[in-house]
Amino acid sequence: MKLTTAQIDRLYEFTRQHYVEWYDLQTELVDHLANAIEAQWQENPKLDFEAALNNEFKKFGVFGFMDVVEKRQVALNKRYNKIVWKHFKAFFTIPKVVATVSTIGVLFVTFRNLGKGANLLVYILLLAAILLFWILITFKRVRYNKAAKTSGKKWLFKEIIFGYGNFAGLSYLPIQLIVHFDIKSEMGIFKALFFSILIVSMCLLDYIVLYEIPKKAEEYLKETYPEYDYV
């Protein structure tokens, strides 16, 4: 026996009821549940559809589909991090490496020549970078949510791309630096170099996660989901 279209729709509804909101994970689970139900029917053709569904769902344990969701999130976050690293490495090839190192050099010389005023400049630059990052994230996130609502389907990897993976959380690291930053301390050579590299790296990561990767989101989604074009 094969499942009917109405029964397949019921499986999608069932996954949504159990807190699986992403279409790609829903499809993966629906495929698994459908095959399992059909296997049960081969052994017992008179078995009720809902009973067969509940039999299979029990095999997922106390937490239901949550383990499947978490494993998939971990795997896709790793993929996202590799993509970010690939884009980041691209800035360390000529001529981009020249521009990157030059920017670090300009900041370093500026910090060294400003004396105690360098501390205030570092504070302002870090704060400006963090504020700009969160303003852009909020703006892009609102736009993404509107698009997802219009399409009626959410994809987990797309959610990670437009949720900026783990990098949104990394913005709290500069905040900790600001909180513990001694604005009256001397700006030594190593401190000037550290903040020069940090500020440039923050700007590069912001550019990559907010512009470069979202610009190529469709390409990465098609690589991840062969069915993406057809949905």
Residues 6+ apart with CB under 8 A from 180: none
- Residues 45 and 80 occupy one common structural domain: no
- Residues 43 and 119 occupy one common structural domain: no
> Mean pLDDT over residues 139-159, rounded?
80
What is the domain count for the chain?
A: 2
**Cis amide prior to 214 (ω within 30 degrees):** no
Of 16, 36, 64, the domain-final residue: 64
Q: Between 157 and 230, whose confidence is greater?
A: 157
**Closest by Cα among 209, 218, 222, 194 to 80:** 209
| pLDDT, position 12 | 92
- Residues 53 and 155 occupy one common structural domain: no
Residue 139 binned pLDDT confidence (cut-offs 50, 70, 90): confident
- Residues 118 and 175 occupy one common structural domain: yes
Q: Between 57 and 150, whose confidence is greater?
A: 57
Q: Which of 66-70, 74-78, 134-138, 180-184 has the lowest mean pLDDT?
A: 180-184
Buried b (16+ CB within 10 A) or exposed e, 127-153: eebbeebeeebeebeeebeeebeeeee
- Residues 87 and 166 occupy one common structural domain: yes
CB-count burial class (<10 Å; 0-12, 13-18, 19+) for 212: middle
- Residues 47 and 142 occupy one common structural domain: no
- Residues 51 and 93 occupy one common structural domain: no
- Residues 46 and 118 occupy one common structural domain: no
**Closest by Cα among 221, 73, 79 to 144:** 221
Domain span at residue 158 reads 67-230
Q: What is the CA radius of gyration of the chain?
A: 25
- Asked if residue 60 lies in contact with residue 68, where contact means CB atoms within 8 angstroms, the answer is yes
Residue 229 binned pLDDT confidence (cut-offs 50, 70, 90): low
Residue 169 has pLDDT above 60, yes or no: no
pLDDT by residue (tens digit) across 63-92?
A: 788 888 888 888 988 888 888 888 888 877
Residue 181 has pLDDT above 70, yes or no: no
Of 64, 91, 106, the domain-final residue: 64
- Residues 48 and 123 occupy one common structural domain: no
- Residues 88 and 131 occupy one common structural domain: yes
Residue 106 has pLDDT above 90, yes or no: yes
pLDDT by residue (tens digit) across 187-209?
A: 778 888 888 888 888 888 888 88
- Residues 60 and 77 occupy one common structural domain: no
| pLDDT, position 89 | 82
- Residues 136 and 171 occupy one common structural domain: yes
| pLDDT, position 6 | 92
Residues 6+ apart with CB under 8 A from 132: 206
Residue 230 has pLDDT above 70, yes or no: no
Residues 6+ apart with CB under 8 A from 161: 80, 213, 214, 217, 220, 221
What's the residue count for the chain? 231
- Asked if residue 68 lies in contact with residue 30, where contact means CB atoms within 8 angstroms, the answer is no
Of 35, 64, 93, the domain-final residue: 64
Q: How far apart are CA 144 and CA 139, in angstroms?
A: 9
**Closest by Cα among 59, 74, 58 to 25:** 74
Buried b (16+ CB within 10 A) or exposed e, 1-25: eebeeebeebbbebbeeeebebbbb
| pLDDT, position 170 | 57
